[in-house]
A and B are shown apart, each in its own frame.
Chain A
Amino acid sequence: MAHFEKATSLHDWMNQRLAVDTVRRVMAKEYWIPKNINFLWAMGMILAVTFGLLLVSGIFLLMYYQPNVATAFDSVNYTIMKEVEFGWLWRHIHGVAASVVFLIIYIHMFTGIYYGSYKKGREMIWISGMLLFVTFSAEAFSGYMLPWGQMSYWAGMVITNLFAGGSLHADGLVEWIRGDYVPAQAFLNRFFMLHVLLLPLAILGLIGLHFAALRIPHVNNQDGEEIDFEAEAAKYKAGNKKESKVIAFANDFMSKDMMVVGIYLVFFFYLVFFHYDFAMDPVNFDPADGLKTPAHIYPEWYFLWSYEILRPFPADPGLVAFGFAQVIFFALPFLDRSPNAVPAARRGAFKYWFWLMLVDMIVLTGMGKLPPEGIFSTIGLVAAIVFILLWIALPFITKKEKAL
């Protein structure tokens, strides 16, 4: 057994047993961050805060929510909204955060793409981040089922139908997933379990992986500059903070993180209290009715772009395109064959590729909500084809790029 001395303080007592000083040094005081990064690098912290809000509000909702097809709707809309003190607050925090978290995830992703933060030894950061995105999507979808509203029910119907695989007609698989011919009690129980246990657990693990993936290659920076972290850290520790290209995570970068988080929370709570309905589809305030199809069925806004890649094609090619859209982002570090990890503005054709991709996904998002008729349908088809072509073109245009 190790040798322990009589502690001189609570801190010393803890230090002998948990090495709090060492942990603090490694995790915060000497965790080096490049100095030249902008507020977009604080999105990770914003996501962590939003995830915390989701977790806490979710725990409160879980105390009163009833996963039963007969009572689920009223347990949310009556019990939580009317009878439970501040139930409305937890619900609106949960509902708004579920939507806003995707906005921030998309900003976080596009920041990574713009600055080339998935390249040169940072592939695992990107891949673990994409795994998080997919798990978050499943988490959002399973949560959307729980209030058992009209759109919950029909979105559940449409999305689980995809597993029939078009002309494969794997209807048995769909029934196996639902536990019934249509979304019913077994389906609700399964999604409830996924939403409150399995997926959050996976998310927590993946967040750990995502953070770990960051420690060795370090955070990228605004100029794509390759920094000798050890040499720069030595300067910082010698007291030349101004000359050093790195800063400590705590309190240096954390103070900036907190500032951005503060501004974000103003926006967030404004939505919660004064514009909560932006995130909640009115159709979902009608109780689920398996005998009445809503006029238009569409997913929440953050899935619209991939929904629109599915929709304009005939069934089988649509499914292939949809599958392609779901996985292709994982391959980004390997499809981008340029040696440069610099902002898109300083790269060749990739500069245009980035903005085209961004605009294309916004167009897909817009068209995904509209009824698939007339001009909207055509625009959606073109945007879906452009999306696929952009990915096919990516290795070729980046191969031609000259090393900077």
Chain B
Amino acid sequence: MKEFKILAVVVFFTLVTYYLVEPFAHSQMHKHIESEGFEYKDLPELTKKGDAARGQELVMGAGACLGCHSMEVAGMPAPMDPVTAAQSYGVNPPDLSNAGAVYDEKFLAALIQNPAHALMVEHKFDAEKGQMHPMVPFYGAGGDLDQEVADMVTYLKSVAVKKEELTSEQAFELACGRCHADHYAGWTQIGKTPTFKKEQDELKFKTQVLDYQDSLKAYMGKLPPDLSIYIRSRGAHYIETFVENPQNYLKGTAMPRVGVNEHAMEKVVEYLEDSGDAKRHERENVGKYVMIFIVIFALFAFLWKKQIWRDLH
């Protein structure tokens, strides 16, 4: 029994030390930011019920979305390659095929009407000072603006992949992958690194990536970090809350609010886990068996000790 008392003392001081060094120190060094639940409360609710057919006309219409954006699902390829697009806009405008699955509908509606506001980059793009956001706001096709925006959002949602079919790579590409690389997943800002037959092809691809990164650097102020093991250096909570509202962490950052919905965020985290913590399933699985083995070992060691010490006491 005396040994249990000693053990309790040892455990107590160990836990106090652990508490001071880990939970307490981290609470003092990093402010905790609560998740906003991807509700985007500052953006107005959609009041009108959209019509997908009307939306299609607006999205496809002259001078609307497809002037800059591609839409593979509707057979509309990108008007420019990513490098040229980045040279024109700073960053390659996303393909809209799955925008309806990845972005929140309130966010999409706000984005169409006032991109700088929805993206929370008004400190950088102030129209009154002549600093226009590269995405042009939609001023309406002549009818009820709210109705038109609702139609467009409805159309985008109707063509996008179903929720359960959205892959982690699709979510990552739309949410992060045009600014951030993830070289552990083979991802560059202009897409997945292909396998090359000839070194020339590889060098050509690398040159394109570097050219794209130059435009991006000029647009963002610095090259956004590689996200390969952000899941380990930052953790899921940090990433989720950062994506939801970057201004909460870095006031004035050039990183826009991404506007993803909660499901797409889960997919993004899954992508980051596959890249930065790839063996997590194997670890948990092997861990179970090793724990069972060790507990049995400890049990036998205990029985052996009992047997031997029977003669000693």
Beta-carbon contact of B17 and A365 below 8 Å: yes
Beta-carbon contact of A285 and B229 below 8 Å: yes
Beta-carbon contact of B283 and A273 below 8 Å: yes
Interface string of A256-274 (1 = CB under 8 A from B): 1011011101100110111
Beta-carbon contact of A88 and B283 below 8 Å: yes
- Decide yes or no whether A396 CB sits under 8 A from chain B: no
- Decide yes or no whether A247 CB sits under 8 A from chain B: yes
Alpha-carbon separation in the docked complex, A88 to B284 (Å): 12
Beta-carbon contact of B295 and A266 below 8 Å: yes
Interface pick from B32-40, B111-119, B296-304: B296-304
Beta-carbon contact of B301 and A362 below 8 Å: no
Q: B184: which of A38, A82, A247, A278 is its contact (CB, 8 Å)?
A: A82
> Which chain B residue lies CB-closest to A282?
B233
Interface string of A287-327 (1 = CB under 8 A from B): 00000000110000100100000000000000000000000
Closest chain A CB from B197 CB (angstroms): 23
Alpha-carbon separation in the docked complex, A119 to B302 (Å): 32
Beta-carbon contact of B291 and A269 below 8 Å: yes
CB neighbors of A among B250-299 (8 A): 278-279, 282-284, 286-287, 290-291, 294-295, 297-299
- Decide yes or no whether B62 CB sits under 8 A from chain A: no
- Decide yes or no whether B13 CB sits under 8 A from chain A: yes
Beta-carbon contact of B17 and A366 below 8 Å: yes
List residues of chain A with CB within 8 A of the CB of B283.
Answer: 88-89, 92, 273
Beta-carbon contact of B2 and A38 below 8 Å: yes
Interface pick from B18-26, B71-79, B141-149: B18-26
Interface pick from B3-11, B97-105, B125-133: B3-11
Beta-carbon contact of A82 and B279 below 8 Å: yes
- Decide yes or no whether B162 CB sits under 8 A from chain A: no
Beta-carbon contact of B235 and A369 below 8 Å: no
List residues of chain B with CB within 8 A of the CB of A255.
Answer: 301, 304-305, 307-309
Alpha-carbon separation in the docked complex, A280 to B25 (Å): 15
- Decide yes or no whether B165 CB sits under 8 A from chain A: no
- Decide yes or no whether A371 CB sits under 8 A from chain B: yes
Q: A369: which of B6, B25, B233 is its contact (CB, 8 Å)?
A: B25
- Decide yes or no whether A185 CB sits under 8 A from chain B: no
Beta-carbon contact of A362 and B13 below 8 Å: yes
Beta-carbon contact of A266 and B301 below 8 Å: no
Q: A88: which of B279, B291, B313 is its contact (CB, 8 Å)?
A: B279
Closest chain A CB from B110 CB (angstroms): 33
Contact size range, B: 35 or more
Beta-carbon contact of A262 and B21 below 8 Å: no
The interface residues of chain B, by DSSP majority, are classed as helix
CB neighbors of B among A73-90 (8 A): 77-78, 81-82, 88-89
Contact size range, A: 35 or more
- Decide yes or no whether A21 CB sits under 8 A from chain B: no
- Decide yes or no whether A35 CB sits under 8 A from chain B: yes
Q: A362: which of B16, B291, B299, B302 is its contact (CB, 8 Å)?
A: B16
Closest chain A CB from B126 CB (angstroms): 29
List residues of chain B with CB within 8 A of the CB of A88.
Answer: 279, 282-283
List residues of chain B with CB within 8 A of the CB of A283.
Answer: 233
- Decide yes or no whether A27 CB sits under 8 A from chain B: no
- Decide yes or no whether A370 CB sits under 8 A from chain B: yes
Beta-carbon contact of B278 and A370 below 8 Å: no
List residues of chain B with CB within 8 A of the CB of A251.
Answer: 304, 308
Alpha-carbon separation in the docked complex, A369 to B28 (Å): 10
List residues of chain A with CB within 8 A of the CB of B309.
Answer: 252, 255-256
CB neighbors of B among A34-49 (8 A): 35, 38-40
Q: B301: which of A92, A262, A272 is its contact (CB, 8 Å)?
A: A262
Most buried by B among A40, A285, A358: A285
With contacts A39-B7, A82-B278, A366-B17 taken as known, whether A262 is within 8 angstroms of B308 at the C-beta atoms is no
List residues of chain B with CB within 8 A of the CB of A39.
Answer: 3, 6-7
**A to B CB contacts below 8 Å, 23 in the list:** A39-B7, A77-B184, A77-B228, A82-B279, A88-B282, A92-B283, A107-B10, A255-B307, A258-B305, A262-B300, A265-B297, A266-B295, A269-B294, A272-B287, A273-B284, A282-B235, A285-B232, A365-B17, A366-B17, A366-B24, A369-B20, A369-B25, A371-B29
Q: Please give the residue numbers on chain B whose beta carbons come within 8 Å of chain A beta carbons, in ascending order.
A: 2-3, 6-7, 10, 13-14, 16-18, 20-22, 24-25, 28-29, 184, 228-229, 232-235, 278-279, 282-284, 286-287, 290-291, 294-295, 297-302, 304-305, 307-309, 311-313
